[in-house]
Amino acid sequence: MSQQNIYDNDTFFEGYKKLRENPTNANELFEIPALLSQLPDLKGKSVLDLGFGFWDHCMKYADMGAEKITGVDISEKMLAVAREKNSDPRIEYIRMPIEDISQIQGRYDAVISSLAFHYINDLGAVLRSIHSLLTDGGVLVFSQENPICTSYSSGDRWTRDASGNKLYVNLAGYAIEGERRTKWFVDGVLKYHRMFSTIVNLLFESGFSIERMTEPLPDEELLKSFPEYSDLFHKPDFLIISAGKI
């Protein structure tokens, strides 16, 4: 099966770029802080970043003291921006599908991935490759769309009152795993839905022990400025897991 490369679609890329340039998007407020909070001490360590995008994740890891960072992404557009804006002698960028990382030579103390795993069909195979690439005692830290979100495919996600206020999320087909095609900037964006139990079991079966799981939510202070994010109490957007190599 060929890997999806939706980020090189011009319409999708520009829409996604505009979204991520907004400093109050959910990634900046919730996903990235939660991901960074679960990272180990990276000083002097080697890091493999899977699906780095063109944001500054690799640069963050360099600023945190990482000695070597390898960034992997399938998108030529993302790669071009990363090389232009986030270059450092410690960073090597590779254009490669995450599904092909078994081809990478070397070992890493930490493998980090932000919002890429829900695009992968055979997650078990990728986790086994990550396990092989990690040093003894190495750590995998990743975020993905929350399974409550990936179960969605079409229709209105919310039941609302007469004024349009969100009352609760509509959840259907959660236990039916597999492909979901949705409209996000463009039609037909392909994601893969897995239940929480499947994700956890795949980690165990691939040789990992789970150290922490987080579904980030807004605190009272943030809600004062952004009350619209109260809907996350019905449907957390993200799941962040840190797991150690056994």
Q: 1 pLDDT band (50/70/90 cuts)?
A: very low
Q: With respect to residue 180, please indicate whether it lies within any of the assigned structural domains.
A: no
- Please name which of 114, 112, 120, 133 lies closest in space to residue 199, comparing C-alpha atoms: 120
Q: With respect to residue 122, please indicate whether it lies within any of the assigned structural domains.
A: yes
Give the pLDDT confidence score for residue 215 in this predicted structure.
98
CA distance 226 to 217: 12
The total number of structural domains in the chain stands at 1
Give the pLDDT confidence score for residue 227 in this predicted structure.
95
pLDDT at 163 over 80: yes
Q: With respect to residue 110, please indicate whether it lies within any of the assigned structural domains.
A: yes
Sequence-distant contacts of 84-88: CB under 8 A, at least 24 apart: 85/54, 85/56, 86/54, 86/55, 86/56, 86/58, 86/59, 88/58, 88/59, 88/62
Domain of 222: which CATH number?
3.40.50.150
Q: With respect to residue 189, please indicate whether it lies within any of the assigned structural domains.
A: no
Kindly report the pTM of this predicted structure. Answer: 0.92
Q: With respect to residue 79, please indicate whether it lies within any of the assigned structural domains.
A: yes
CA distance 45 to 132: 17
Q: With respect to residue 231, please indicate whether it lies within any of the assigned structural domains.
A: yes
Q: 106 pLDDT band (50/70/90 cuts)?
A: very high
Range(s) of the domain holding residue 114: 6-146+195-245
Q: With respect to residue 56, please indicate whether it lies within any of the assigned structural domains.
A: yes
Q: With respect to residue 123, please indicate whether it lies within any of the assigned structural domains.
A: yes
